[in-house]
Structure 1
Amino acid sequence: MNPSSPTPGSASAPVSARTLREHSAAVLGRAGVPDPEVDAELLLGHVLGVSRGRVQALVVMDAEVAGEDAERLRGLVERRAAREPLQHITGRAPFRSLELNVGPGVFVPRPETEQVAQFAIDALRAIPSPAPVAVDLGTGSGAIALALATEVPHACVYAVENSPEAFIWARRNIDEVGTTNLTPVFIDLADALPQLDGTVDVVISNPPYVPDDAIPRDPEVRLHDPHAALYGGPDGLDVVRTISRVAQRLLHPGGTLVLEHGELQGAAIRDLLTADGWRAAATHRDLTTRDRATTALR
């Protein structure tokens, strides 16, 4: 079988969930998709409108799936085998406690960013003010800003984005979640929010930080994530330099900056921030023990 071979069954004949899962995982595995069994179960769950756990239960029970659903799954598996991101196919991406709308034109939030957001959440929760202020520079889908706004509901959060395509996704997610303490702002981050100068408690950003000549290996990233959300100049730190200046302007003395970055950039970012006058620059590892975030104090 090749990635375009049909799923067992037809539009009229039901197929067992186990057969569908095994066939789909085999197709995805041959296409080089990481964790093909996981994606097979998630795609089947998407077709059936059930959770991955429910799919696993259906597999154990050897339950039958309608032929129409099996045919629909075949088309989705073909798309995933062509390395279209799973999140683009389902239209959804999990982030902490949220399920976000994503698709072409916006960066798909990654699990490692969930831990980066925790640094900002912890900083906000530690502030004695009844209404601490946070700014997410380059919000993309709105993932980080929404996490801050929903998990620290007494905070006032601003989500800054300058990509029209990404801003549409952010507005859609903000509207769907329905939080009232989050303000989306369409503006270049270098010019963001002068009315808040010197009053912000926390600035966080997951900026583009891939060096221009470091082409990502994964086709899902290389072919589908917006280039403006990936590449940050010759050393990957051009946007970080801008954020350092903007955050110095926005934060009050003692305010916290949180930056996500690549695993080899921690030392360079600490040096950059220290040279700009930041205090206590410290780099933190993610759950895979890779350097992932740097924090500093105004």
Structure 2
Amino acid sequence: MTERLRLRPLIVEAAARLAEAGVGSPMPDAENLAAHVLGIERMRLALIPMVEPEIADRYRALIEQRAARIPLQHLTGTAAMGEIDLAVGPGVFVPRPETELLFAWALAYLETLPHDHSPIVVDLCTGSGALALAIAHARPDAEVHAVELDPDALTWARRNADTRIAAGDTPITLYADDVTGPALLTPLTDRVDLVVANPPYIPEAATLDPEVADHDPHRALFGGPDGLDVIRAMTPNIARLLRADGATGIEHDDTNGGGVAALLAAADFSDIVEHADLAGKPRFVVARRPANP
């Protein structure tokens, strides 16, 4: 009879391997991959003291892939946003924990709106559909529209949208379109309550971790020499889409909070506020379209 193996030493060994490989979060990743192999939540790992050798072999194989800097989310196949999980993999940007802060701000803003109509929300550069689908899940009364140009990313967004419909969420409307195009979502002009965006915003000369540089689509990452090309070009569309007193929240590179704020000020937005992430780095800017521009 094959002897079972203790799980916790396997995880400790795996975390050491990931740390040696330069992975930034070795123990959380080791635990998440163990939970993935076992088909349980990470917090329940302590309830599984022993595993079969074949489970250990599968686990070690995944650890070696992670040590090769394949993204954790590509190995598990999922990434979280709000209360939902999204399918992710090659060809689509992996949602980051930092975007949870923009999501939380968006929900708080929607709570301030009057209840005389269903809120209309637009998510620009939706990628996997993360923000749009998380908002639709949290606010089933909202009419949510999401725009993505890249066909591979749009395939992932449609897959995730279908999954959320099957789970009972309100459907979103997906568009294959350029967020900088002058005809973007023309029927929604002056009608949108909230525009959120996590666009390509990394300056072209930035040095990136292998998980990002080698696996995230470059089209989803880079925003020109200063990282502002897409934000600069889509700002007029945001201004056009928003109703009077509507709001926007735009995620940006941690070098560009002031730059995004300046673009919004030049487009006559008001109540411009820069927000930091949990590490204290500039992460997203919010603003309103004035009620009386």
150-159 vs 273-282, which deviates more? 273-282
What are the residue-to-residue correspondences of 1:33-44 with 2, within 5 Å? 33-44=23-34
SS of the residue 2:214 aligns to: helix
> Structure 2: how far apart are the matches of 1:17 and 1:176?
33
Shift of 1:113: 0.4
Tell me how far apart the structure 2 counterparts of residues 118 and 19 of structure 1 sit (CA, whole Å).
Answer: 37
Q: Deviations over 1:108-130 (max 9, x none)?
A: 11111001112222222222133
TM-aligned CA deviation for residue 12 of structure 1: 4.8
Partner of 1:173: 160
| Partner of residue 88, structure 1 | 74
> Given that residues 161 and 171 in structure 2 are in contact (C-alpha distance below 8 angstroms), is that contact kept between their aligned partners in structure 1?
no
| Aligned-pair identity (%) | 46
SS of corresponding position for 2:98: helix
Q: TM-score, normalised by structure 1?
A: 0.91
Per the normalisation by structure 2, the TM-score is 0.93
**Deviation of the 1:212 alpha carbon:** 0.9
Q: Which amino acid aligns with 1:48?
A: L
Corresponding residue for residue 281 of structure 1: 272
Post-superposition CA distance 1:207-226 (Å, at most 9, x none): 1111111131x111111111
Q: Please name the residue that 1:74 is paired with.
A: 60
- Distance, in Å, in 2 between the alignment partners of 1:287 and 1:33 is 20
Equivalent positions of 1:226-241 (< 5 A) are 226-241=217-232
Aligned to 1:198: 190
Deviates more, 1:124-133 or 1:42-51: 124-133
Structure 1 consecutive aligned stretches of length 4 or more whose deviation exceeds 3 Å: none
8 Å CA contact 1:262–1:291 kept in 2: the answer is yes
Corresponding residue of 1:159: 146
Kept in 1: contact 2:246–2:288 (CA 8 A): yes
Aligned equivalent of 2:256, options 262, 265, 273: 265
Where structure 2 has 5 or more consecutive residues not aligned to the other structure, the ranges are none
For residue 242 of structure 1, what is the aligned residue in structure 2? 233
Alignment of 1:36-55 (within 5 A): 36-55=26-45
Specify the SS of the correspondent of 2:180: helix
State the distance in 1 between where 2:64 and 2:94 align.
20
- Determine if contact 2:18/2:67 at 8 Å carries over to the other structure: yes
Q: Is the 8 A contact 1:124 1:155 kept in 2?
A: no
Could you give the per-residue CA deviations for residues 97-142 of structure 1, whole angstroms, max 9, x where no partner exists?
1111100111111111001112222222222133110100000011
Do residues 144 (structure 1) and 136 (structure 2) align?
Answer: no
CA RMSD of aligned residues (A): 1.5
Rounded to whole Å, the distance in 2 between the matches of 1:25 and 1:268 is 39
Q: How far has the Cα of 1:49 moved from its partner?
A: 0.5
| Alpha-carbon shift at residue 180 of structure 1 (Å) | 2.4
Unaligned runs of 5+ in 1: 1-10
2:197–2:249 contact (8 Å) kept in structure 1: yes
- Local SS of the residue matching 1:43: helix
Distance of 2:171 and 2:85 partners within structure 1: 18
| Corresponding residue number in structure 1 for 2:211 | 220
Query: Aligned residue for 1:126?
Result: 112
Q: In the aligned structure 1, how far is the partner of 2:277 from the partner of 2:27?
A: 25
TM-superposition CA deviations, 1:180-237 (whole Å, max 9, x none): 2411111111232111111111111011111111131x11111111111110001100
